[in-house]
Amino acid sequence: MRKFLFLVVILVFVFPLQSQIPFNFRAFNWSMLGRLMQQISKPQLRLSESDVVYVIPDEKVFHLEGCEKLGSSKTGMSVRHAREVREYEPCSECILSKGITLYRVPIASTILEDMREARRAYVATKVEMGKMSQRVKDAILRGDVLIGMTSSDVIASRGRPHDVNKTTGVFGVHEQWVMHAFHDSGLWDLKGKEYGYIYFENGLVTSWQSR
C-alpha cells in the first residue's frame, strides 16, 4: 500500500518537475484520485481455510451466509473442505463479485492426501508383518469397515471414536464405539453416517449401525 502511494506521488508531483512539464492543479481530476485512494485503502476481505461456508444439494458451489442463492436445505462446512475435498467453486455473487479473496491452496499436501497417506502407512506395516489380508487392506484404504476387523484397523480406516460404551460379561467384552463423522485429521467424511456406531466383541468388529 505504501509503495503504491509513493508511486502516485512520484507520478503526480516529481515526474512533471523532472521533465519540466507544468502541472495544472486545477485541471487535474482530484476527485477521481480520491475515489481511487478510497477504493484501494478499503480492508480486503479474505476467507481463511477454517471459515464456514454453505452448500446446497446438486451444486458444486459454496456460498456465504445470507447469499440469495441459498435455500433452506443448506449444509455448512469449512472453506478448506469445500475447496480441497469437495472441489467446489466460490459463488460468483456472494464471494467473487465482492472481491473476497481465498486462502492459497497448499500444493505439497492436503488434508485428504494426509489421511490417505496415514492409511497407506498403516497398511504397509501390517502387510509387511504378514498380519493383514488383501480384503482388509483394500477396505482400510477405502475408509470402510469389515466384520472381523480389529480396533486398530478401524482407527486407521475411520479415525478414533468420539465415545466408547463398554460392557463386560461372561462372554467377554462388548464395546459400542460412537464414531465421529470425520477422520482424526478433521476431514468430514461422507461415510460418516453409515458408520455412526461400530460394535466389537472381544476386540473384533461384529456389526455397525448408521445414525
Give 145's pLDDT tier (boundaries 50, 70, 90): very high
User: Does position 180 have pLDDT exceeding 70, yes or no?
Assistant: yes
- Between CA 76 and CA 83, with CA 80 as vertex, the angle to 5 degrees is 90
13-22, 39-48, 52-61, 161-170, range with the lowest pLDDT: 13-22
* Cα-Cα end-to-end distance for the chain: 52
- Between CA 169 and CA 172, with CA 171 as vertex, the angle to 5 degrees is 70
Q: What is the rounded CA–CA span in Å between residue 27 and residue 25? A: 6
User: Does position 170 have pLDDT exceeding 70, yes or no?
Assistant: yes
Q: Where are the alpha helices (DSSP H) in 10-110?
A: 15-18, 30-41, 79-80
Is 123 strand, coil or helix? helix
Give 43's pLDDT tier (boundaries 50, 70, 90): very low
pLDDT top residue among 11 and 208: 208
Q: What is the rounded CA–CA span in Å between residue 180 and residue 89? A: 26
Name, in order, each residue with C-beta under 8 angstroms of 147's C-beta and a sequence gap of 6 or more.
204, 205, 206, 207
